[in-house]
Amino acid sequence: MGRLIFIGTGLMGGDWITTRGIEAAREVDFLFAEFYTSYIGDGGVKRLENILGRRIVRLSRDEVEMKERLFKYLEDGDVGLLVGGDPMAATTHVELRLEAERRGHRTEVVYGVSIFSAAPSSVGLQHYKFGRVVSVPWVSEKFMPRSVLEGIKGNLRCGLHTLLLLDLKDGEGFMSVNECLRTLLKLEEMHEMGVVNEETLVVGAARIGDPTECIKGGALSEMLEENFGPPLHVVVIPGRLHFVEEEALRTIAGVRDDVLERWKNKIESFCPKGPTPS
């Protein structure tokens, strides 16, 4: 019976795939890819094909979640599944791995560079001071989830930073930093939780790991007007800041001193000051 090998392609197309990932992708009998849990674009797929020297069959979300197409090929050989970022960051892939093991197939994971570590690094904030990751979906009159603000508030009450992952739709588009911030304001208007307003310090990051990477930070009202360019985007809401983190936000994200001072005072309303962070 064939093996199912999950291969992380890292950030922004094929340039971040590891040497082990390239070797695994070249060795398997059948090579597929899914990029609905991330974004790569047609150019990224072609770039990967050039790096790997072979054709990639791209799967839709339904084909991955239904699983049967992959299991059919596993009867005849080893199957590689290329996945953006780190393969096991998405629950769908964990479920697929478990199902393969239940059916008697061996599985392997070739890990990739993930947004979960790259985002903190890109904006200069300490990794261990991030709390729960929060996903921001597109909202509507019938769908205004309170849980987004609850996640941010829970982190702020502990003085922790929040990484916001922005929604994307398979084949339909992606959420920008600006759309995310507008969504947060809509949710605040609906639920009145006192978590987010126009003075909230936010950092937007676009195309992390690409030569065109863009990092900008400031008051939410200012970032609403900024152009972050093409996808993918993430947003970080800082918690309590170490002085090195403050300098990083000034230098890397261009955050002004007055914005930082207002935010440091605001943090005290969520998380009364304890010992100085080390």
Residue 62: give its domain's CATH number. 3.40.1010.10
Count the domains in the chain: 2
Under 8 Å CB-to-CB from 278, ≥6 apart: which residues? 242
Q: Could you tell me if 165 and 235 lie in one domain?
A: yes
Within-domain flag for 17 = yes
State which of 74, 92, 113 marks the end of a domain.
113
Q: Give residue 1's pLDDT.
A: 82
CATH number at residue 170: 3.30.950.10
**pLDDT values of the chain reduced to their tens digit, one per residue, 278 residues:** 899 999 999 987 678 899 999 999 999 999 999 877 666 666 778 889 999 999 999 887 777 777 888 999 999 999 999 998 999 998 889 999 999 999 999 999 999 999 999 999 999 999 999 999 999 999 988 999 999 999 999 999 999 999 999 987 655 578 999 999 999 999 999 999 999 999 999 999 999 998 999 999 999 999 999 999 998 899 999 999 999 999 999 999 999 999 999 999 999 989 887 654 55
User: Which of 62, 87, 113 marks a domain boundary?
Assistant: 113
Residue 275 lies in a domain: no
Residue 72 shares a structural domain with residue 129: no
pLDDT at 44: 76
Domain boundary among 113, 137, 159: 113
Helix H or strand E encompassing 234: strand 233-237
Q: How many CB atoms neighbour CB 47 within 10 A?
A: 18
Measured in whole angstroms, how far is the alpha carbon of residue 102 from the centre of its chain? 29
- Whole-number pLDDT of residue 274: 60
Residue 90 phi, psi dihedral angles, 5° rounding:
-105, 130
> What pLDDT, on a 0 to 100 scale, did the predictor assign at position 172?
58
Question: Are 83 and 217 found together in one domain?
Answer: no
Instruction: Reply yes or no: is the peptide bond before residue 31 cis, omega within 30 of 0.
Output: no
What does the pLDDT read at residue 67? 83
Beta carbons within 10 angstroms of residue 274's beta carbon: 8
Same-domain pairing of 160 and 138: yes
**CA-to-CA distance for 44 and 35, rounded, in angstroms?**
10
Other Cβ atoms less than 10 A from the Cβ of 43: the count is 10
Contact between 166 and 233 under an 8 Å Cβ cutoff? The reply is yes
Q: What is the DSSP letter of 127?
A: G
For residues 191 and 80, state if they share a domain.
no
For 206, other C-beta atoms within 10 Å of its C-beta total 22
- Cα–Cα nearest to 46, from 61, 30, 37, 35: 35
Q: Which residue segment(s) compose the domain that 156 sits in?
A: 116-270
In a domain, 194, yes or no: yes
∠ CA 56-60-61, nearest 5°, is 130
State the pLDDT at residue 276: 47
| 123 and 109 share one domain | no
Could you tell me if 158 and 219 lie in one domain? Answer: yes
**158/237 same-domain check:** yes
In a shared domain, residues 170 and 233: yes
Q: Is residue 135 situated within a structural domain?
A: yes
Give the whole-angstrom CA distance, residue 150 versus residue 134.
Answer: 9
The predicted structure's pLDDT at residue 37:
64
